[in-house]
Amino acid sequence: MSANLSAILYLVSGVLFILALRGLSSPETSRQGNLFGIIGMLIAVTVTFLSVGNFSSGFIYVLIFLAIGGSIGAFIAYRIPMTAMPELVAGFHSLVGLAAVFVAISAFINPEAFNLGTPGNIKLASLIEMAIGAAVGAITFSGSIIAFLKLQGIMSGAPITFKGQHALNALILFSIIVLTFYLCSTQSANLFWILIAVSFLIGFLIIIPIGGADMPVVISMLNSYSGWAAAGIGFTLENTALIITGALVGSSGAILSYIMCKGMNRSFFNVILGGFGATEQSGSSQSKEQRPVKSGNADDAAFLMKNASSVIIVPGYGMAVAQAQHALREMVDTLKKNDIKVSYAIHPVAGRMPGHMNVLLAEANVPYDEVFELEEINNDFANADVAFVIGANDVTNPVAKTDPQSPIYGMPVLDVEKCKSVLFVKRSLSPGYAGIDNDLFYKENTLMLFADAKKMTEDITKNL
């Protein structure tokens, strides 16, 4: 196949990838978008086979390895529970990162295969692109592994900080630049290996100080990195499809990180420098005093809801942990049978990744037109009878609006307290991730329901 024709076809697959993302602007077009993405990928892979044009024994092995990876991927995709989506995405990011590293290594060892020169005499531009691709890929890999371990609970979600952390990170980042510079002048393989090793290390160090609830930002950021890594390799291979895709994914992840940071009213650097939960906890614990709390049982909650005419549900990470989404939908079905209007309010940073709550509700067959974003629904709380907060905490805390001293001051929150009554499903009175007490617990019109989220919702349904 001529180089021009394959370049045009790579462009076509790049355009199809753009359409794949475009499709996600509404749920109706999204499935078609995904199909465009699959076609784009098929074109890219087929064109690569045809342009290499070498159908020797190596080709058979390519197909075999493709089938191995493909079946593992398909198996995971069908078996993974929806609550584990953040871990899955983090895991997948690590694979893209590692694949980028491997391609860069292969290109470094055998540059002739990619028309980049000969070993020890690689074109300068290619070498820089390769080094960038490998370094960013390595950072994506080790960072995503840490994110995966934290989300999976294998590693503690608490931030891990130590003295001189920032200085060390800055030093390592600086050394990556120096190494790239020397790599270009000496073409030394040893320097290339050291560069990769140091990048693995920095990826690890960047993510360990970030706490569990900041994971939405981290996952989005790693999503972005995996895109830049792909783009770096795209420049090395002079491949348009990879360059376009890398740029798309890179900017997509960056935008998601921005949205998540805004949802917490924190700057990107504040999140990345980490240690949020650890530093704030000490301040709030002293001011804690015993205040009266009204607590109730499923019967009380059912009574309140039965007499309501509209109910707003506020789900949070606790719903995902308790896998309560199906029980919740059954409760809502019962409410709807009694002609009670029900809607769902989703805070941008609820859960552990962007859109986490929406996926779980969709899994439980909640129609997406009953689910609203913060700005869309926040004015409705004043007119609603009952707010049912299930597994959320900080995103409802009115202190963010009233107390400039509070660490979450300025964060957009759901105006749950404006409802006539608030039902709070929670396992204990313990403060949320930010380590601050929630004034809502002590309000006149708040009823605390201390129980596992799933069990409580089931009990309420029985009592309705």
Partner 1 sequence: MEIDPFIFRLSIFILSIFVGYYVVWSVTPSLHTPLMSVTNAISSVIIVGAIIAAISGNEGVVFTSSSIYGFLAIVLAAVNIFGGFLVTQRMLAMYKKKKKDK
Closest approach, Cβ 297 to partner 1, in A, equals: 30
Per CB under 8 A, the segment of 151-159, 161-169, 182-190, 368-376 that binds partner 1 is: 368-376
Site for partner 1 in 64-83 (CB under 8 A): 65-74, 76-78, 80, 82
148 is an interface residue for partner 1 by CB under 8 A: no
Closest CA to 344 of 319, 354, 352: 319
- Based on CB atoms, which residue is closest to partner 1, 257 or 406? 257
> Which contiguous run of DSSP H or E holds residue 306?
helix 298-306
Catalytic residue from among 394, 415, 437, 459: 394
| Residues 284 and 403: beta-carbon distance below 8 Å | no
Q: How far apart are CA 336 and CA 297, in angstroms?
A: 21
> Which contiguous run of DSSP H or E holds residue 278?
helix 276-286
Among 9, 33, 83, 116, binds partner 1 (CB under 8 A): 33
Among 5, 8, 34, 193, binds partner 1 (CB under 8 A): 34
Among 148, 192, 235, 441, binds partner 1 (CB under 8 A): 235
Amino acid at the residue 86: P
Closest approach, Cβ 359 to partner 1, in A, equals: 5
246 is an interface residue for partner 1 by CB under 8 A: yes
Closest approach, Cβ 251 to partner 1, in A, equals: 4
Q: Cα–Cα–Cα angle for 351, 357, 363, nearest 5°?
A: 135
Per-residue tokens: 3:
């180089």
Among 252, 265, 343, 463, binds partner 1 (CB under 8 A): 252
Closest approach, Cβ 325 to partner 1, in A, equals: 11
Site for partner 1 in 2-21 (CB under 8 A): 10, 13-14, 17-18, 20-21
Length of the chain: 464
Closest approach, Cβ 353 to partner 1, in A, equals: 6
Among 307, 309, 338, 365, binds partner 1 (CB under 8 A): 365
| Residues 128 and 184: beta-carbon distance below 8 Å | yes
Provide the 3-class DSSP secondary structure of residue 326: helix
- Based on CB atoms, which residue is closest to partner 1, 128 or 422? 128
336 is an interface residue for partner 1 by CB under 8 A: yes
Site for partner 1 in 81-140 (CB under 8 A): 82, 85, 88-89, 92-93, 95-96, 98-100, 102-103, 105-107, 109-110, 112-114, 125
> Torsions phi, psi of 315, nearest 5?
-90, 155
Site for partner 1 in 175-234 (CB under 8 A): 219-220, 223, 226-227, 230-231, 233-234
Residue 66, classified by CB atoms within 10 Å of its CB into exposed (0-12), middle (13-18) or buried (19+), is exposed
Alpha carbon 99 to its chain centroid, in Å, reads 20
Per-residue tokens: 454:
């799933």
Residue 75, classified by CB atoms within 10 Å of its CB into exposed (0-12), middle (13-18) or buried (19+), is exposed
Instruction: Mention every residue, 6+ apart, whose C-beta is less than 8 A from residue 291.
Output: 441, 442
Active site residue 369: no
Known catalytic residues?
394
